[in-house]
Amino acid sequence: MSLADRLRTWVLRGMVKAAGLPVPFIPEWQRVQWMTPTFRALCTEGVRANGIVFNCLSAITFTYPEPRLMVYRQTDSGLDPLPTHPLLQLLARPNPQMSQAELLQYVALYKAIGGNCYLYKVRSRARRVVELLPLNDSQIVPVAGATLPIDHYNWLNEETGKEEKIPAEDIVHLKWLPDPLAPWRGLAPLVAVAREVDTDNEARRYLFALLKNDAIPRVALTLPVGSKPLSPDEHKRYTEQWQEKYGGDNRGKPAVLGGGMDVKVVGLNLQELAFEALSRVPEARIAGAFRVPPVLAFLNVGLEQMTYNNVAGMRRFFVEDCLVPLWRLDADEIAADLLPEFGDSTDLTVQFDLGNVVALQEATTEKRQWVDGAVSRGYITVNEGRAQLGLPVVGGGDVFLRPLTLQEVPAQLATPGAKALLPARIKASQEDRRKLQLALIAAQRQQRAEVARRMESALDGWFSSLADRVIHRATEQASKARRGQRKAMLDAEMLLEESDSLELENLVKRFYLELIQLSWDTWNLSLGVDVAFDLVDPAVVKALEGAGTRVKEIQQTTLDELRRALQYGAERGWSVDHLVRGDPSADPPVRGLREIIEQTYKGRAVTISRTELGTAQNVAAHQRYRAAGVTKVLVLDNGFDDSAPGCVVLGNGGKGTVVPVEWAEAHPLGHPRCVRAFAPEFDAGVDDALLAQWQTAGGDT
């Protein structure tokens, strides 16, 4: 028994023992031939003896288990996942010796070799399905029915040598492709290219024999014309002498012939055989039958044309053209055969979760971009767009979004029989435009708040790390002072290094970019344009320019605090440990180094994140608006915890104030934590009266 057969027997014996079946599902090739050994022949001559087939199967079986099977409930708003459904628990551990991924590998492998994979339902005494066992064509065979494609399945009772029936409802039958001559069975790609596999195997055997003979074809020794025929003894003696002198380890040695004898080649050498060209034909046909691009199976016919770009494209093609149809067919069959075993399944479905399939990420990105464009142009509602992406509906999402500058008027028939008027584009009413402006401002505020929460957490962690670095540097400076290598008094500038500023600047810029990119489509919508986000866009560049200045201001605050603490400690002869602790009993209390770093910014992370992000977002918005020719904007203040007098005036009771874009550029925020945001204005005039009130109230603080 071969190693593969021993492994197969061991696996199946474990399955049978776990299932508690009365008779084992173990094939005995050596003793019983109760069915045509097609599957075994395909495994022996195809899988185990042919590298092309093995590589194609590897490409399929390694990729097929990538997505997990999921159960969903079909609703009006799309598909709702049911992560606790009992079928998922069964699929997660189909039997004591298999995981879901391993089961799916068996499914893909058995289907590709024999055309069929049979999942046997192991039932409890209560007739509930508790395990699934994968079987192949060497173990079970479907029997055609009179009125249905399959009446039952036969398997061999090893102890009695008789075939026994398995009801059709106890088998989940997964096929590669229906066999048109036997529709109750599946047709495997390996069967379709069996001749190509045999051709390649024979060519490889010939090549092996040829190379074993130092790539020298078979030869014949000939006697000169007119020589008397050799007797049988002479023929045998000449043959043995030639084999002894020039065969085996003596291959390649020069031969010296006498008596007019000559050597004739009776086989083809490698060049005459054109072996490389000959091998391309079966490679291409076998890979094509499996629907595996040759480059992904590492076949020469594919590697010769391989580039990084076409590998990525071929991988996506392979998944979309081969695996996605298989995933859908298998999921539908599993849903039809297994969901009813767990109760009412009228509104349930089984699908593979393709969201995390690496090769399909580009397609997912393309779909998201299409949905973004369709929603922003008003072709579909927000909830329809969410449904396309598999997201649940949200309240208030059954609306169409329109650019502020445009509104579509439905086509109308002027008179019976008249041609429909083409959709026209007219300006929206001032009231509708103001509602859209306020909605866009609210969207920008929400985007700012989302990024601010992440930035606050990052800043807290960074300042805690900075405190550790400052204390370490202070300890090193004190040690050098004791050794006389530097002055006794610690230097604040040496506690905060240039690298700290650069690190903080990069941290701030990272969140600047995140917010600007998040707001980009909102600005596109407000302007009725479709400008792609670009790091070198003037709006992005202008916003990032301010990061360095703001970081210097933050660092300067820390330096001033450190100088006061170090001066106070030097005057009193404090040690580094004392500087770290500070003097809480002093009047006023003196904070230690760690407290200076952490407490200077404790609570300020919120202020810094909101202030920095608000400034960056508004600076970029102004650049976008000005580039689009906008001269006026609507400013809205006074929200959240914003109660500054000037901001209350600009809030105008939630209606906002129209200001020149130059004013907006000069006043991106009114004060720290200000929630000020802007939307483009195209018709209304500047609210000079409200600007005057703002000035009287003290302007920006």
Provide the 3-class DSSP secondary structure of residue 537: coil
Q: What are the structure tokens assigned to 598, written together?
A: 């952490």
CA distances from 406 to 300, 409, 425, 655 (A): 57, 10, 6, 21
Specify whether the CB–CB gap between 644 and 674 falls below 8 A: yes
pLDDT greater than 60 at residue 9: no
pLDDT of residue 308: 58
pLDDT of residue 525: 84
Share of the chain above pLDDT 70, in %: 73
pLDDT greater than 50 at residue 610: yes
Name, of 65-79, 166-180, 304-318, the range with top average pLDDT: 166-180
Alpha helix (H) ranges present in 156-222? 189-192, 194-212
pLDDT of residue 420: 35
Name the band, by pLDDT with cuts 50, 70 and 90, for residue 2. very low
pLDDT of residue 555: 67
Give the residue with greater pLDDT, 130 vs 430: 130
pLDDT of residue 5: 42
pLDDT of residue 45: 82
pLDDT of residue 14: 44
> Is the backbone of residue 197 left (phi > 0), alpha (psi -120 to 50) or beta?
alpha
pLDDT of residue 344: 79
pLDDT of residue 216: 53
Q: Which H/E stretch holds residue 478?
A: helix 430-482
Name, of 178-192, 393-407, 454-468, the range with top average pLDDT: 178-192
**Positive or negative, the Cα torsion across 500, 506, 507, 508?**
positive
pLDDT greater than 60 at residue 319: yes
Give which of 109, 106, 22 is closest to 59, Cα–Cα: 109
pLDDT greater than 70 at residue 537: yes
pLDDT, mean of residues 438-448: 87
Query: Would you list the DSSP string of 419-458?
Result: PPPPPEEEPPPHHHHHHHHHHHHHHHHHHHHHHHHHHHHH
Q: Dihedral through CA 543, CA 548, CA 549, CA 550, nearest 10?
A: 80
pLDDT greater than 80 at residue 276: no
Mean pLDDT across the chain, nearest whole number?
77
Residue 394 is given by DSSP the state -
**Positive or negative, the Cα torsion across 280, 312, 65, 289?**
negative
Give burial (CB, 10 Å; 0-12/13-18/19+) of 89: exposed
Q: What are the structure tokens assigned to 287, written together?
A: 């890979």
pLDDT, mean of residues 299-325: 80
pLDDT of residue 241: 74
CA distances from 216 to 101, 199, 242, 267, 279 (A): 49, 22, 15, 9, 20
pLDDT, mean of residues 561-579: 71
